[in-house]
A and B are shown apart, each in its own frame.
Chain A
Amino acid sequence: MKCEIDIAGLVKRFGTTTVLDGIDLCLKPGERVAIIGPSGTGKSTLLRCLNWLDAPDAGRITVGDLSVDAAHATRAQILALRRRTGFVFQNYALFANKTARQNIMEGLTTVRGWSTAKATARADEILAQIGLADRGGSYPAALSGGQQQRVGIGRAMALDADLLLFDEPTSALDPEWVGEVLDLIRSIADGRQTMLIVTHEMQFAREIADRIVFMEGGRIVEQGPPAQIFGDAQDERTRAFLRRVS
């Protein structure tokens, strides 16, 4: 099957440090991929480049019929790419001056140009989906960490993006809130939403991912189905990492 998301030769440097050293990755429609690996190996940077929060230095990102070349990306292409890739932040990053419902609506009204009535209706659907139907009018400050992250996920969902990017979505959460957020991501995964998730929750990655990608030193070292990576990794670096985290 053809790639829905195609990442080719992606390079990102910070000063003289090469953080992404030629990443090639193809996601098929509905594929759920988990990226694992030691800290500081470029996992989050890869996700941030796909949403252009960090501008890659070289390579090409293709999402559906939109193809953006790092060397000559236009402003319009960058905005279009961002619209097609929903990003879930580690620290939720909710708009503090907007209610939960307004956080979800913001992309619909301001970016997609929907009417307030249409956006409100859609936001209420999403609020129900993320289990916060009764908290739509609450400001982020009045929500628990788990609730805030669910709103963060809802905001990304509202874009109807081709690709959802989860950047360590449970790392900043108190342990008591991790479960509800993982449950929500699991339910989104069940809907066969194409997603790329950076996580330290190995058990979770194994459960929901169709494929595990192991990164180290800005490169993809090894990838394959969860059973293969967790049960029978070929590369010594992968095995060493999995020994450390398990």
Chain B
Amino acid sequence: MRPLDTAYMGDLVPIILGYVPLTLGMALVAMAAALCLSSVLAIVRVLRVPVADSVVAVFISFFRGTPLLVQLFLFYYGLPQLFPAMTSIDGITAAVIGLTLHFSAYMAESIRGAILGVDRSQWEAAQSIGMTQGQLLRRIVLPQASRVAAPTLMNYFIDLIKSTSLAFTLGVTEMMGAAQKEAAGSFLYLEAFLVVAVIYWIMVEALSVGQRWMERRLGKAVAR
């Protein structure tokens, strides 16, 4: 057994770190889009909007029922066969769209659960004073639901950050892709992937600390 080439690892760190902005950027854009989309999906389900409700149910079922990798491949390699215009789509865009759709399906279910967790009598009370459906969702229900859903959504964000590594399979050179390339030249696979793993780990741990801080703050706001 030969020892780890720590000097090589040290050289790799700045190279891989250079791709952190791309990873975080993809994750942030996908998360923001998924938050919007999943909220809409959840509201459609909660209000049982005719027709749309069934469409959303199928959407959620599909994106939860198939592997993310399969979805990304379908999206990037499969769909251009049907729609030639999509051939021009680059790997980063495809990955972000794929991640958005996939995580929207999961997040919609937890947002829906959080909305249903808001006591029904508060809906009625808001209606009783003459609020419209939109007003009562915006001012009464969603603020409470988001507080309940926040920890779960944070977990999805962490999962999303890690899942951006799959963009590598669409030809995107992100952290994982860069490590793969480096290792292909040096044959030091263990060192290269260890560096990637540790960097992911540190990012996620930092977020977990943030998450615990956020939960404490949200907890305080209700218990005043």
Contacts and interface: CB of A to CB of B under 8 A. Distances in A.
Contacts of B128: 51, 53, 82, 85-87, 89, 156
A89 B124 contact: yes
Contact of B130 (A83, A91, A138, A141): A83
A214 B145 CA distance: 41
A246 interface: no
A215 B199 CA distance: 72
Contacts of B121: 89, 91, 93
B119 A107 contact: no
Contacts of B54: none
Contacts of A101: none
B127 A93 contact: no
A96 B129 contact: no
Interface stretch (B26-34, B98-106, B135-143, B178-186): B135-143
Q: Interface extent on B, as a size class? A: 20 to 34
A97 B144 contact: yes
Nearest to B143: A97
Nearest to A108: B129
A26 interface: no
Interface string A150-189: 0010011001000000000000000000000000000000
A139 B140 contact: no
A142 B223 CA distance: 7
A198 to B, nearest CB: 15
B190 interface: no
A106 interface: yes
A199 B193 CA distance: 71
A110 B121 CA distance: 19
Contacts of B224: 138-139, 141-142
B87 interface: no
Interface in B145-190: 147
A93 B132 contact: no
Contacts of B118: 96
A82 B125 contact: no
B93 interface: no
A220 B147 CA distance: 46
B131 interface: yes
Contacts of B144: 96-97
Contact of A93 (B122, B135, B147, B222): B122
Contacts of B119: 93, 96
B109 to A, nearest CB: 22
Q: For the complex of A and B, list the 3 residue pairs with the smallest distance between their C-beta atoms, beginning with the closest.
A: A93-B121, A107-B129, A93-B125
Given A107-B130, A111-B129, 16 more contacts: A52-B127, A80-B130, A82-B130, A83-B129, A85-B128, A86-B128, A89-B125, A94-B122, A96-B119, A97-B144, A106-B126, A107-B131, A110-B135, A111-B131, A139-B224, A155-B129
